[in-house]
Structure 1
Amino acid sequence: MDEHINIFKALSDATRLKIVWLLTNIDEKICVSEIVEVLDEYQYNVSRHLKILKKANLVEEVKEGKWVFYYLTPIKSEFRQLIQEAIKTIPESQMNNEIHKCKILLAERPK
């Protein structure tokens, strides 16, 4: 039951829900600086939100060179699958600006 409560608590904040929505819909790893720019939030706040999402086992991180990228934790339970499907139902129209900024940033990444 604690796992379920932690997930609901983590997703109860609009910024954290937006981060998970972005990771769900862009299907790519993103770094803190990209999230900061996309959501127009302070770096400290984004890092704090990511820490909470990581503690709830919703996101994981991988270090590539000097960058740390975040991605969704692979789904291993029916509950997580249902949560992910619920998040996917949030209309893209609710996140037009954010998804547009994110796509531009991802396209500008060095190859």
Structure 2
Amino acid sequence: MKTSIENSISVFKALSEITRLKIIWLLINVDSKICVSEIIDVLNVPQYNVSRHLRILSKAGILNESKEGKWVYYFINNTDSEFLNHIKRAVSTISENDMKTEIKRCKQKLLIREN
């Protein structure tokens, strides 16, 4: 079993890569859940990279997943962890200006999902 400091290190390592940081930012600021195909389209990243990034974020305890029909949706782990709540607040403060393209693509994907 990992110690608290080891869990914290895993979270920081997971968020030290730009694609993973963007995935978390989108989940916090645009929608509460997202599937692999939506991430591929929004971030313009190959499927194998997205799957690897999601696996790393899940292993770090940041993400959970749920299956809805044929889709698997990923969402931020709801936890009482004060540490993870501080991390979520910190990530959410990244400027929308830095994520303009991704926000636009994500909103388009969400419209398609709703229809």
Class of the TM-score when normalised by the shorter of the 2 chains: over 0.9
Q: SS state of the match for residue 109, structure 1?
A: helix
Question: Structure 1 residue 28 and structure 2 residue 23: aligned?
Answer: no
Question: Structure 1 residue 9 and structure 2 residue 13: aligned?
Answer: yes
Relative to structure 1, the CA distance from residue 110 to residue 89 in structure 2 (aligned partners, 3 Å threshold; closer, same or farther) is closer
State the distance in 2 between where 1:81 and 1:110 align. 29
Describe the superposition over 1:55-107 as per-residue Cα deviations: whole angstroms up to 9, x where unpaired: 00101100011110001000311111111111011001100000110011101
State the distance in 1 between where 2:64 and 2:85 align. 16
Aligned residue among 60, 63, 86 for 1:82 = 86
In the alignment, structure 1 segments of 5+ residues that lack a partner are none
Superposition RMSD in Å: 0.9
Q: What letter is aligned with 2:87?
A: I
State the distance in 1 between where 2:114 and 2:82 align. 37
Runs of 4+ with >2 A deviation: none
Q: SS state of the match for residue 12, structure 1?
A: coil
Describe the superposition over 1:6-64 as per-residue Cα deviations: whole angstroms up to 9, x where unpaired: 00000000000000000010132110000000000000000000000000010110001
State the distance in 2 between where 1:92 and 1:35 align. 17
% identity of equivalent residues: 54
Q: SS state of the match for residue 78, structure 2?
A: coil
Q: TM-score normalised to the size of structure 1?
A: 0.96
In the alignment, structure 2 segments of 5+ residues that lack a partner are none
Any residues of structure 2 matched to 1:1-111 within 5 Å, and which? 1-111=5-115
Aligned residues: 111
Q: TM-score normalised to the size of structure 2?
A: 0.93
Q: What letter is aligned with 1:73?
A: N
Q: SS state of the match for residue 67, structure 2?
A: strand
